[in-house]
Amino acid sequence: MTRSRRTSAIALRRILNSRRMGLPLWMPRRRWSLIRVISRRALANTAILNHREALKDFKAVVKREPNNRDAKLKLADCEKLVRRVEFEKAIEVGDPPSAFEDLDIDSMAVDDGYDGVRIGNEMTQEFIDDMIERFKNGKKIHRKYVFQIIKAVRDLVYAEPTMVEIGVEEGNKLTVCGDTHGQFFDLLEIFRRNGYPSDKHAYLFNGDFVDRGSWSTEIALVLYAYKWLRPNGIFLNRGNHETDDMNKAYGFEGECKAKYNERVFKVFSESFSALPLATLIGEKYLVLHGGLFSDDSISLNDIRKLNRHNQRQPGQQGLMMEMLWTDPQTAPGRGPSKRGVGLQFGPDITKRFCEKNGLEAIIRSHEVRMEGYEVEHDGRCITVFSAPKYCDTTENKGAYINLGPELKLNYQVFEAVPHPPIKPMAYAQNSLLSMM
């Protein structure tokens, strides 16, 4: 990450934290004007989907600078966002019907001109191999197969516990990957370097498969196809970007509509809400997307007992939200989140949680790490991030972790690979977010 980008990120975090804590606006050393500070705060609030606060700030900028054309455009975009969010809330029902209701997949015909491998009622390795080649060449699979894959995996993961518990048998290997964020060609680089999922080699993907990168449907379908083929050989934790609000803002919804149709997004959304929230490896490592909790009394048993099916979206508080959104900090105790959602937890929090639950460490993702991974909190908090050169702008490496039966962590770092000339956020519907 360049120095200027780091400076901007730090500034945004301080601005948001100052607003939340009721403090006066923090003014950077470079003497930004009040207008510039308010504009950046508005963009930051847009990024965390705090649209009403963003709207107030954009209105303030336009009031102070009525001839500022850029501010007027951003205000108009933000007003559209707020109207859309309010409309969607107005038409919400308590228990929406399944997105698969009235979807007759069996009656869907695959025309004779389809040039890909076909499947019946079972996934095959031949189909996956062909699908990957199609995706590499810019092709799609037939919509019937998309629905089949999502339906099969939705049923599989719905039946799994909220915290899946696994080990690594003798002669086998497990690989833990962090965020892939629609960077399909970098996912293939992991498989090229480390091996594809097989009977002896399982994978755990720790959330944020989609959004930002412009091959999110390709990643989701490949991971889902492997899950259908080998239910006990690939494991999928939910991330904060496997949620409706994020998908609507950061590109996945738009990508589904552009490449397939709106129904595909809706069934993906239902499958995301069924995903487990954590995986326990050999009773030593708790793997979850975000991090730890606002309450020291939370235990592994509380995660086991959490009925995630009662709450499809994580909301702004509660156990599910914290599992998807929180981040570590270097200072002890807990602090306000730099994201505006969730919180930050210190090394003492991690130590108490691990000791209470008999864990060696937690493994989480959710944040870029310049070397692809980072070991913090005296070795008890490990972050792994698997999207190198994130969004084509951050000069970070990617990483993944290999474990054998002895459960020793073997970190592997890799560089980004070339991809076709499609920019990140290509399918994002909101111009405000596409510039973040």
* Tokens of residue 42, six digits: 């508005």
Mean pLDDT of 169-181: 98
φ, ψ for residue 148, nearest 5 deg: -60, -45
Which one has a higher pLDDT value, 256 or 66?
256
Mean pLDDT of 300-325: 94
Q: What is the average pLDDT value for the chain, to the nearest integer?
A: 89
Beta-sheet pairing, 173-177 with 201-206: parallel
Same fold, 3-90 and 125-434: no
* Least confident window among 36-40, 178-182, 217-221, 275-279: 36-40
* Least confident window among 4-13, 82-91, 196-205, 369-378: 4-13
- Answer whether 347's CB lies under 8 Å from 335's CB: no
- Is pLDDT of 204 > 80? yes
| CA 121/CA 191 separation, integer angstroms | 26
- Answer whether 179's CB lies under 8 Å from 324's CB: no
* Tokens of residue 421, six digits: 């000339």
| CA 68/CA 243 separation, integer angstroms | 35
* C-alpha to C-alpha distances, 130 to 197, 210, 326, nearest whole angstrom: 15, 21, 38
Phi-psi region of 288 (alpha: psi -120 to 50; beta: other; left: phi over 0): beta
SS3 170: coil
- Is pLDDT of 367 > 80? yes
* Tokens of residue 202, six digits: 């399982």
The predicted pLDDT at position 27 comes to 38
Q: Which fold has domain 3-90?
A: 1.25.40
- Is pLDDT of 156 > 80? yes
- Is pLDDT of 19 > 60? no
CATH 3.20.20.70 holds for 125-434: no
pLDDT grade for 414, boundaries at 50, 70 and 90: very high
The predicted pLDDT at position 31 comes to 40
pTM: 0.84
The predicted pLDDT at position 46 comes to 65
Beta-sheet pairing, 410-414 with 398-403: antiparallel
Report domain extents, the chain: 3-90, 125-434
Q: Which residue is it, tokens 């009977």? A: 199
The catalytic residues are 241
- Is pLDDT of 238 > 60? yes
Mean pLDDT of 172-199: 98
- Is pLDDT of 425 > 90? yes
The Cβ of residue 306 has, within 10 Å, a number of other Cβ atoms equal to: 20
The predicted pLDDT at position 432 comes to 54
* Tokens of residue 173, six digits: 């290997």
